[in-house]
Amino acid sequence: MALREIRKYEDEILRKKSKEVKEVDDRIRLLIDDMAETMYNADGVGLAAPQVGVLRRVIVVDAGSGLIALVNPEIVMVDGEQIGVEGCLSIPDVAGEVARPQIVTVRGLDRNGELIEITGEDLLARALSHEIDHLNGVLFIDKVIKYVNMEDEDGIKE
């Protein structure tokens, strides 16, 4: 495993749409492992493949209940709304309030290529929504309702 460089805001790769993964092979598993290591090293709760320069539909999330890695994730159900402060590992020192679903169900493939479904509430729902946005070239700053001073908040980084 290895740390990968986290691409920052100015990098246009963050604005591109990621491609579907055709097969979950060793290369994808290595990508997942590297992304997880990179996320934990940066003290983040989520990371999407384009943030490490790979335009493939892969995300990792750990909202406090363990690592979730999803390939080709698709939101299949949303419910409710929450407004909370979030940040992004690709946009350091910026935080803002964003509306996200309160509950999200995501379907995708796990590291073995098996179909799985994850339902998340609160922070996990926020993190899953944020990371899937990355796969479509969408950044949280596109959705900010109000910017906040990072020093006043324990904003999460994704």
Site of interaction with Zn ion (CB under 5 A): 88, 158
Closest CA to 112 of 32, 53, 6, 5: 32
Burial status of residue 137 (CB atoms within 10 A of its CB: 0-12, 13-18, 19 or more): middle
The CB-of-127 to Zn ion minimum distance in angstroms stands at: 9
Token digits for 124? 């996990």
Of 21 and 91, the one with the shorter C-beta distance to Zn ion is: 91
**CA atoms within 13 Å, Cβ hemisphere of 120:** 24
Q: Is 131 a catalytic residue?
A: yes
Q: Which listed residue (131, 151, 153, 158) is catalytic?
A: 131
The CB-of-85 to Zn ion minimum distance in angstroms stands at: 13
Of 15 and 113, the one with the shorter C-beta distance to Zn ion is: 15
Of 25 and 150, the one with the shorter C-beta distance to Zn ion is: 150
Catalytic center residues: 131
